[in-house]
Amino acid sequence: MTEIPEHLRKRAAEARKKAEGGGGAADAAPTESPAAGGGASAGSGAASKIPEHLLQRSKSAKQREGEQASASTAVAPAAAAVATATAPQPMATMTGPAGHTQRLLTVVKSGSIQDIKAQPLDKVHTWPHLIVVEFGAALAVTAFLTFFSIFVNAPLLRLADVNATPNPSKAPWYFLGLQELLTMFHPMVAGVTIPGIGLFALMLAPYIDKNPSNKPERRKFAVSLFTLFMMFWAVLVIIGSFFRGPGFNFVFPWVEGIFFDL
């Protein structure tokens, strides 16, 4: 059942009391002039602030309650006020001032029709949330490398001799993949075409796989493409590091040794 505000209940109770008290006087003086009746009704309306059409509807409801005494005796004062305000009336009594027919059904609290809960957001601004963390990580790595280089010497080789070329002559480990490709393909294919195709495929991955999820199990295409590229390059680096001997020929490291300085 709809909750009725307390001030409306009080106003309905006051209207009922005044209607009960003024009923006898109205019956005793039916020949009173319209001006006097208008003044009395205006005075009572000003005192109680109840519109005249509501008082008339209350009187009509009281007359119907007298005819149906068995039903009206079990109704509480608050329920009687609701029945008085919402009971169907004839068209002549439903009209208010200036012919209006609107009725006050209930007063709805603003909290019941407005959603004031804040929606959680899963996004933050780049500054300062991301940049501060990245800058702090860069400072930490720089400090670690600085102190590490003070106490640990780099594994440098002896001075280069122009008259003696090392055999095998290997590139640094991060270039051994390209050096391994040079043993299989033309320099143009091994140094430009194959690496270019791999990098171009990685650049196209975000445009092909438009899944906005950041969970790896939902990004199967992107994860598969990146894993394939990394495994392909890792295998080439491992072969160039441990399976290439003098003349950059293929050897087995467990038979002829390892020709690579870590």
Dihedrals phi, psi of 162, to nearest 5 degrees: -70, -20
- Asked, for residue 56, whether it belongs to a domain, the answer is yes
Residues 133 and 51 in one domain: no
Average pLDDT over residues 138-165: 89
138 within some domain? yes
When comparing pLDDT for 68 and 16, which is higher?
A: 16
Q: Which domain holds residue 190?
A: 165-262
Whether residues 49 and 129 fall in one domain: no
In a shared domain, residues 173 and 86: no
Residue 223 lies in a domain: yes
The answer to whether 184 and 190 have CB atoms below 8 angstroms apart is yes
* 261 vs 129 pLDDT, higher one: 129
User: Residue 161 — pLDDT band, cuts 50, 70, 90?
Assistant: confident
Is pLDDT above 60 for 82? no
Q: Are residues 136 and 194 in the same domain?
A: no
Give me the phi and psi of 250, to 5 degrees please.
-70, 130
The CATH number linked to 202 is 1.10.287.980
Domain assignment present for 115: no
pLDDT of residue 43: 45
**Domain total for the chain?**
3
For 211-241, how does the pLDDT look when each residue is reduced to its tens digit (9 = 90+)?
888 888 888 888 898 899 899 999 999 999 9
Does 171 lie in the same domain as 98?
no
Q: Cis ω on the peptide bond leading into residue 253 (within 30° of 0)?
A: no
What is the tens place of the pLDDT at every residue in 30-65?
444 444 444 444 444 444 567 787 788 888 888 887
User: CB–CB of 191/182 below 8 Å?
Assistant: yes
What gap in Å lies between CA 191 and CA 180, rounded to an integer?
10
**Residue 175 located in a structural domain:** yes
Residues 63 and 99 in one domain: yes
Do 62 and 131 belong to one domain?
no
> Nearest-CA neighbor of 58 among 11, 100, 105?
11
Question: Could you tell me if 198 and 251 lie in one domain?
Answer: yes
pLDDT (mean) for 117-130: 76
117 falls within a domain: no
Tell me whether residue 118 is in a domain: no
Same domain, 203 and 138: no
* pLDDT average, residue stretch 72-88: 52
Is residue 36 assigned to a domain?
Answer: yes
The first and second tokens of residue 46, run together, are 């000003």
| Dihedral sign for Cα atoms in the order 141, 144, 150, 153 | negative
So what's the pLDDT on residue 29?
Answer: 45
What is the Cα–Cα distance from 75 to 14, expressed in whole angstroms? 17
47-56, 58-67, 82-91, 186-195: the lowest-pLDDT one: 82-91
Task: State whether 213 and 246 are in the same domain.
Answer: yes
Q: How far is CA 251 from CA 72, 92, 181, 240, 255, in A?
A: 108, 111, 17, 10, 8
> In the prediction, which pLDDT does 68 show?
72
